[in-house]
Chain A
Amino acid sequence: MRIADLLKFAWQVVRGYRTRTLLILLAMGIGVAAVVAVTSLGEGARLYIVNQFGSLGTNLVIVLPGRSETAGAMPGVLVGKTPRDLTLDDALALKRSHAVRHIAPLVIGAADVHVGARVRETPVLGSTAELVDIRSMEVALGRFLPEADPRQILPVCVIGAKVAAELFGAKPALGEWLRIGDRRFRVIGIMARQGESLGFNTDEIVIVPLAAAQALFNTEALFRVLVEAKSREQTLYAKADVEEFIRLRHEGERDVTVITQDAVLATFDRILRALTLAVAGIAAISLAVAGILIMNVMLIAVTQRRQEIGLLKALGATGAQIRAAFLTEAVLLSSGGAAVGLAVGQLVRYAAVQLYPAIPFQAPWWALLAAPATAVITAVLFTLAPARRAARLDPVQALSRR
């Protein structure tokens, strides 16, 4: 039997039993669509997070006080001492590294911000002028913190768009004064709306010079130091330099944690890939269920078409030909279902993109290959037994009316 004839024969069967064909297409389609849709969502979330990290600046090295690896859960607690503070001098020392372009020490706290009678509790971030370069932030109005000695307490601040709207209403905020604790600051800039960027919502913060924040919160210790390497390739050198410089300054003690952007990104990437894979696996179960449905339908077909099978054998069909006919039918049905599923999956993806344009929903290439392949392979595997049963039918008995 020629391949073209085999396909034609199976096609005639598929067309001949419309309801049955539609039901199988539906079951297979749902399975494939589920895998495609679910992996699209997972991959979308992953790409979203990767992009978010990208907006932080790709050459970023983050220095945290305390060493998490040596002490397990809480740095310092288990070894019985608190880590040495990370100070401004530590941060400034890092500038001597050839691999480092910018540094921005950070102090963070929450405080009540007053404008006349209005009060709002907001996060207050103390940093230096270089922060704007490292974090690729944008100033909508006015300017960012001035380049100045970071030890100098300047009474200026840059505020987020939402803070400006809430504290000043419709009035222009630029050049006005506001009060944080017992200190007064002049508003010299308003940040552009950037929305959430990994827990840092620049719309809702007030940024003051580092020394001012240290005075406000009465602390010398830095929350973090952000370091930007000169290039992506230099990130590792920058990291090594940072570790070495701080160790030397801390009397040989390795008591800070240095994270590169890439490492954090890689971790998130791994977690989200694993998650996507896991949900895709769950969705793939529906494909197995569809396979069982195909088996069921094929077993019924063998009974229903008993006479036809008997006839084919009388006309000289070999067992292999009968098996091939059933398996071809399964391949046709499952690839049809896979096509339907891919189409529906793309529709779901399209709908999701319309709803959440910020998230780049996109089915990963492996899912687009694996879902249809799993559908076809499952269908073929589950048709093996019915096809064998058909091939073994005794022609005389199959042809008889009973």
Chain B
Amino acid sequence: MIRLTGIERTFAVGDEMVRALRGVTLEIAQGEYLSIMGPSGSGKSTLLNVIGLLDRPNRGTYELDGRDVTGLSDDELARVRRETMGFVFQFFHLVPRLSAEQNIELPMVLAGIEPAERRKKLARLLADYGLADRARHRPQQLSGGQCQRVAIARAMSMSPLVILADEPTGNLDRHTGQEVMAVLERLHHDGGTVVVVTHDPEIGARAHRRLRMIDGAIVSDERAPEPIREHTGGAEA
């Protein structure tokens, strides 16, 4: 579904050119649960941003669902992102002045979906992520775990092909982090493609396919025998 070939990404930091990605070639199939690990500065977030079409590679090609998306314009990329990518960030990135439900609704609002349809979808998402009683709360009235669940619900609101999570547990305590991972794993269970960037080996080890990056290159790509853990991680309804 996702095919990256020879992806290079360089940044200018002062006078120096930093090669964040050095010829990365990667294929991700539908329904995969993939983790990207590596030390800070290894390029794992840059790789995630390239996969998510937030960042453009300097060289190499990106095929998404058989379509070459390397040369698309900013606005075309935005539309592809809206339809196919769901982002989950370390710092949640909820809009502080909007309620939980308004945050979840945001991608659908941007896509211009009819309010009636939005409400139906919203009700389902709120129920799915156990947020029904928090719908009208502002982010600052929610716990970290709840914030991240709102963010995941928002990422799911457009039913994307891929969920991209950048350190989704980085800002949460261990227990809440496990809970959030369970939510993501449930998505995978339901057939979703999930890519998680983390530097926590315990979190990374949960994935079925584990990439390791050092200095902008993928140094290992292991697949655990599927399924790695049968019980669904204590996902409470």
| Inter-chain contacts of A5 with B (CB < 8 A) | 109, 112
Chain B positions 80-116 with a Cβ under 8 Å from a chain A Cβ: 81-83, 85, 87, 89, 91, 93, 95-98, 102, 106-107, 109-112, 115
Give the docked Cα–Cα distance between A317 and B79 (Å): 8
Interface residues of A in 160-180 (CB under 8 A from B): none
Indicate the size class of the contact surface on chain A: 20 to 34
Q: Which of A304-336 contact B (CB under 8 A)?
A: 307-308, 310-321
Query: Contact: B97 with A12, CB < 8 Å?
Result: yes
CA separation between A370 and B41, bound complex, in Å? 57
Contacts of A312 in B (CB 8 A): 106, 110
Nearest Cβ distance between residue B150 and chain A, in whole angstroms?
Answer: 13
Is residue A140 contacting chain B, with contact meaning CB distance below 8 A?
A: no
Cα A321 to Cα B78 in complex, Å, equals: 11
Complex contacts, A16 vs chain B, CB 8 Å: 96-97
Query: How far, in Å, is A5 (CB) from chain B's closest CB?
Result: 5
Q: How far is the CA of A396 from the CA of B54 in the complex (A)?
A: 6
| Cross-chain contact B110 with A316 (CB below 8 angstroms) | yes
- Taking a contact as CB atoms under 8 Å apart, the answer to whether A396 and B49 are in contact is yes
Docked complex Cα distance between A219 and B218 (Å): 117
A316 engages B54 (CB within 8 Å): no
Is B221 on the interface with A (CB-CB < 8 A)?
A: no
Would you call A401 an interface residue if the criterion is a C-beta within 8 Å of the partner chain's C-beta atoms?
yes
CB of A2 closer than 8 Å to a CB of B: yes
| Chain A residues positioned under 8 Å from B96 (CB to CB) | 16
Closest to A13 in B: B97
- Does B55 sit at the interface, judged by CB under 8 A? yes
Bound together, the chains give a CA A321 to CA B97 distance in angstroms of: 19
A317 and B110 contact, CB distance less than 8 A: yes
Q: Assess whether B75 is in contact with A314, with CB atoms less than 8 Å apart.
A: no
Nearest A residue (CB) for B154? A315
Chain A residues lying within 8 Å of B154, measured Cβ to Cβ, are 315
Interchain nearest-CB distance for B39 vs A (Å): 18
> Is B74's CB within 8 Å of the partner chain A?
yes
Q: Contact between B82 and A315 (Cβ–Cβ < 8 Å)?
A: yes
Contacts of A320 in B (CB 8 A): 75
With a cutoff of 8 Å between Cβ atoms, the chain A residues found around residue B93 in the complex are 307, 310-311, 314, 399
Q: Which residues of B contact A48 (CB under 8 A)?
A: none
One digit per residue, 1 when the CB lies within 8 angstroms of any chain A CB and 0 when it does not, for chain B 50-92 equals 0010110000000000000000001100110111010101010
Residue-by-residue, is A277-313 near B (CB-CB < 8 Å gives 1, otherwise 0)? 0000000000000000000000000000001101111
**Residues of A close to B82: CB separation below 8 A:** 315-317
Q: Are B89 and A12 in contact (CB under 8 A)?
A: no
Which of B93, B96, B107 neighbours the largest number of chain A CB atoms within 10 Å of its CB? B93
Q: Mark B150-163, 1 if CB is under 8 A from A, else 0.
A: 00001000100000
Q: How far is the CA of A90 from the CA of B52 in the complex (A)?
A: 99
A318 touches B78 (CB 8 A): yes
Would B97 and A316 count as touching, CB distance under 8 A? no
Q: How far is the CA of A273 from the CA of B137 in the complex (A)?
A: 57
The distance from the CB of B73 to the nearest CB of chain A, in whole angstroms, is 10
Interface of chain A, main secondary structure: helix
CA distance A314 to B87 in the complex (A): 7
Given contacts A16-B97, A307-B93, A320-B75, contact A315 B110 (CB under 8 A): yes
Q: A319-B74, A396-B54 are in contact. Are A314 and B110 (CB under 8 A)?
A: no
Closest chain A CB from B157 CB (angstroms): 9
Within residues 138 to 169 of chain B, which ones have a CB less than 8 A from any CB in chain A? 154, 158
Q: Which of B54, B55, B75 contacts A318 (CB 8 A)?
A: B75
Q: In A385-402, which residues have CB < 8 Å from any B CB?
A: 395-396, 399, 401
Cα–Cα, bound, A393→B106 (Å): 19
Task: Judge whether A316 and B81 touch: CB under 8 Å.
Answer: yes
Q: Which residue of A lies closest to B74 (CB)?
A: A319
B87 touches A315 (CB 8 A): yes
Q: B107, A315: Cβ atoms under 8 Å?
A: yes
Per the bound structure, the CA–CA distance linking A316 and B111 in Å amounts to: 8
Q: Give the distance to chain B from A12, nearest Cβ to Cβ, in Å.
A: 6
Contacts of A315 in B (CB 8 A): 81-82, 87, 106-107, 110, 154
Q: Is the CB of B54 within 8 A of A314?
A: yes
Q: Return chain B residues, CB-CB under 8 Å to A395.
A: 54
Q: List chain B residues, Cβ under 8 A from A319.
A: 74-75, 78
Cβ of B110 and Cβ of A321 under 8 Å apart? yes
- Is A198 engaged at the interface, CB distance under 8 Å to the other chain? no
Contact of A314 among B74, B81, B102, B158 (CB under 8 A): B81
Q: Offer 12 A-B interface pairs, CB within 8 angstroms, sorted by A.
A: A13-B97, A310-B93, A313-B54, A315-B87, A316-B111, A317-B110, A318-B74, A319-B78, A320-B75, A395-B54, A396-B54, A401-B91
Q: A316-B85, A316-B111, A321-B110 are in contact. List 20 more A-B contacts (CB 8 A).
A: A1-B109, A2-B112, A13-B97, A15-B97, A312-B106, A314-B81, A314-B87, A314-B93, A315-B81, A315-B110, A315-B154, A316-B83, A316-B107, A317-B82, A318-B78, A319-B74, A319-B75, A320-B75, A395-B54, A396-B49
